[in-house]
Amino acid sequence: MRHPALIVNKEKILGNARVVAELCGSRGMDVWGVTKGLSGDPMLARIYAKAGFRGICDSRLRNLRKIGDAGAPLPRQLIRIAMMSELRELAATAEMSLQSDIETIRELDRICVSAGIRREVLIMIDAGDLREGFWPTELPEAARELKDLDGGVKIGGVAANFACASGVLPTPDNMARLVKCRDVISEITGYEMPAVSVGGTCCLKMIEDGLVPEGVNVLRICEGVILGTDTAFGRVIPYLARDALTVTAEIAECRQKPSVPVGDVGYQAFGEKPVFTDRGLRKRAVLAIGRQDVNIGRITPLDENAEIVTASSDHLIVDVTDAKVMYKTGDLMSFRPLYPAMLACATSEYVEVIFE
């Protein structure tokens, strides 16, 4: 095994996915699994399929293509609104996509007609998070413009994101408005639009409490299934495992050094001016993982008595003076990642992703 590594426990993710699928199913909702958290790994797509999810979502066409090349077990959906420059690739790669621009939808329609294929689009609605999506007051005019598509694109419903850019949380009111937006478009266009799709893990709390309005019928999810956490609400989801992922790195140096730098301290390479407390001589482990590989503020040592001090692009410095283990050069240390750390590790070509 090469280190640093992101170790993924398949059975724990499968268990989480099955619980979420059962919960959503009891509320009349389908689940689409987002794979971008592990950089579109086909193994994750297979786990989602085994758990009973209905589709695969990713924000990168490269990831969806990789899943397709490995034999996509479920329909694929692009969840980042498409650039004009990638529409031909989109048409060739994903069965569905989220869209929020009329001209983009028209161009995708033309491309699909020319290729003799049909692709489904969900119309993105801005539910208040101020990211992508039509503002609700724009919908009547937008719907009128969607009436004359040539048949290459099927408008299958609407979708929204919550707590992504601005932190706006899902509520019964803003979800109900999403259903009304679907109905407005459907009435003007005459299209049958069954899907009302919401993302992401922050929507689970409403599903648990039975507060999701009638008509909302699809959940897109990643964080909760993989990590068992809900960043938007700052909670550990009590019925999901949260130890499916572990970051491991090797200690390249381990010795005692002063706890305060010697000399004048300026800004380090990442524009920060660190502050240190004088704790005397401390045993410091220098690990072969750094900011180029992981978000150091979003990992926690599994050894609760170890403490992350700082990091450069290539090295992580951990105070192991009071650690439970007598660490030495060549030993491995393990960490629990949060969502930003998982993304960074899975994306870095220097971190090996290992499914166990």
Say whether both 222 and 266 belong to one domain. Answer: no
Range of the domain at 298: 245-355
| The last residue of a domain, from among 205, 236, 267 | 236
Q: How many CB atoms lie within 10 A of CB 150?
A: 11
DSSP 134: B
Query: Residue 260's pLDDT is what?
Result: 87
106 located within any domain: yes
Say whether both 249 and 230 belong to one domain. Answer: no
Q: Read off the pLDDT of residues 288-318 as tens digits, 9 standing for 90 and up.
A: 999 999 999 999 999 999 999 999 999 999 9
Is 340 a residue whose pLDDT tops 90? Answer: yes
- The encoded tokens of residue 1 equal 């095994």
Say whether both 268 and 336 belong to one domain. Answer: yes
Q: Read off the pLDDT of residues 227-262 as tens digits, 9 standing for 90 and up.
A: 999 999 999 999 999 999 999 999 999 999 998 888
pTM here is: 0.95
Residue 183 CB contacts under 8 Å (≥ 6 apart), including other chains = none
Instruction: Please state, in angstroms and rounded to a whole number, the distance separating the CA atoms of residues 219 and 159.
Output: 10
178 located within any domain: yes
| The last residue of a domain, from among 236, 267, 285 | 236
292 located within any domain: yes
Say whether both 267 and 223 belong to one domain. Answer: no
Say whether both 164 and 253 belong to one domain. Answer: no
Number of domains in the chain: 2
Say whether both 47 and 129 belong to one domain. Answer: yes
Query: Residue 272's pLDDT is what?
Result: 78
What's the CATH code of the domain at 296?
2.40.37.10
Is residue 212 exposed (0-12), middle (13-18) or buried (19+ Cβ within 10 Å)? buried
Catalytic site positions = 36
For range 46-52, the mean pLDDT: 98
For range 94-108, the mean pLDDT: 98
Say whether both 251 and 164 belong to one domain. Answer: no
| The last residue of a domain, from among 236, 257, 281 | 236
What's the CATH code of the domain at 83?
3.20.20.10
Say whether both 166 and 296 belong to one domain. Answer: no
The CA distances from residue 348 to 40, 164, 242, 263, 340, in Å, are 13, 22, 22, 34, 12
Say whether both 21 and 123 belong to one domain. Answer: yes
Say whether both 37 and 172 belong to one domain. Answer: yes
2 located within any domain: no
Q: Read off the pLDDT of residues 171-221 as tens digits, 9 standing for 90 and up.
A: 999 999 999 999 999 999 999 999 999 999 999 999 999 999 999 999 999
4 located within any domain: no
Q: Read off the pLDDT of residues 15-36 as tens digits, 9 standing for 90 and up.
A: 999 999 999 999 999 999 999 9
Say whether both 166 and 197 belong to one domain. Answer: yes
